[in-house]
Amino acid sequence: MEKSDYRVPVPEEIKRTLSDIGKMIGQSLPEGWGFGLLIFTFGEDGTMTWISNAAREDMLKAMQEFLRAQGS
């Protein structure tokens, strides 16, 4: 599972929690399904991180397709 954060370090507690949630989601999905979970802090100085069972490039493509669909 891939985790990424581009603004601030992610606290170890959050990394563990995100990993645990990701494992539960991945084990609950049928074969051939992917997932991506975004989490973020609130506020002006917020940051976001995510976990996925897909390759980074595939997850970015899925997110772009999702955003395009929201604009139509």
Helix (H) or strand (E) holding 52: strand 48-52
Structure tokens at 58: 């595939």
Q: What is the mean pLDDT of residues 42-67?
A: 90
pTM score of the predicted model: 0.73
Q: Nearest-CA neighbor of 39 among 63, 61, 69, 15?
A: 15
Cα–Cα distance between 31 and 59 in angstroms, integer?
17
The strand pairing partners of 17, in sequence order, are none
Tens-digit pLDDT profile for residues 1-53? 555 545 677 889 999 999 999 999 999 999 999 999 999 988 877 788 899 99
pLDDT of residue 61: 95
